[in-house]
Amino acid sequence: MANLLKFSRSSNADIAPLDINRVLEETLLFTRHQLEMHQVELIRDFAPELPPVQGNEHQLQQVFTNIMVNAQQAMKDGGKLTISTAVNNGMLEISFADTGCGIAKKYKDKLFDPFFTTKETGEGTGLGLSVSYGIIQAHQGKIEV
């Protein structure tokens, strides 16, 4: 219960050095059950001893949760979700790769637009990736598909 309360509280002022592998592991505490229920095999490929990053843990957990849930929903009959961390050209890189249906190229430019969704009516608001994009931008990062 303490973890759920910690996750639900968020403050823009809570910028601190973070171990991104730990943040991902804590996020998985909330998403692992849903992934398992939908026969999604989770593969972690976390680089050891990453440098700390400045960030808001709760906002980043929101981004990671959204991406994991989207991945699970794209794998209707189960599949694999691989989460990787690495340092690439001096930048911390987090990669989410799934075996889902993918996104049509014609939608890629709209993916982060508010209210854009490829889901059926009533299944999504089209805000998750837009909010995630804003959070990553505020962290001076980049999010790509």
H-type alpha helices, the chain: 2-8, 20-37, 57-74, 128-138
Q: What is the pTM of this model?
A: 0.81
- Of 55, 11, 10, 65, the C-alpha closest to 33 is 65
Tens place of pLDDT per residue across the chain (145 aa): 344 334 444 455 689 999 999 999 999 999 999 999 999 999 999 999 999 999 999 999 999 999 999 899 889 899 999 999 999 999 999 999 999 887 777 766 766 666 556 656 555 555 577 788 889 999 999 988 8
Per-residue pLDDT at 4? 38
Name the strands in the sheet holding 79-88, side by side, starting at the edge strand that comes first in the sequence: 40-46, 79-88, 91-98
For the chain, domains (ranges, CATH) are 2-7+18-102 (3.30.565.10)
pLDDT value at residue 118: 61
pLDDT at 143: 87
Q: What is the pLDDT of residue 9?
A: 46
DSSP structure class, residue 114: T
47 touches 91 (CB < 8 A):
no
Buried b (16+ CB within 10 A) or exposed e, 14-34: eeeebebbebbebbbebbeee
Instruction: Please say whether the beta carbons of 98 and 79 come within 8 A.
Output: yes
Residue whose tokens read 């994991």: 68
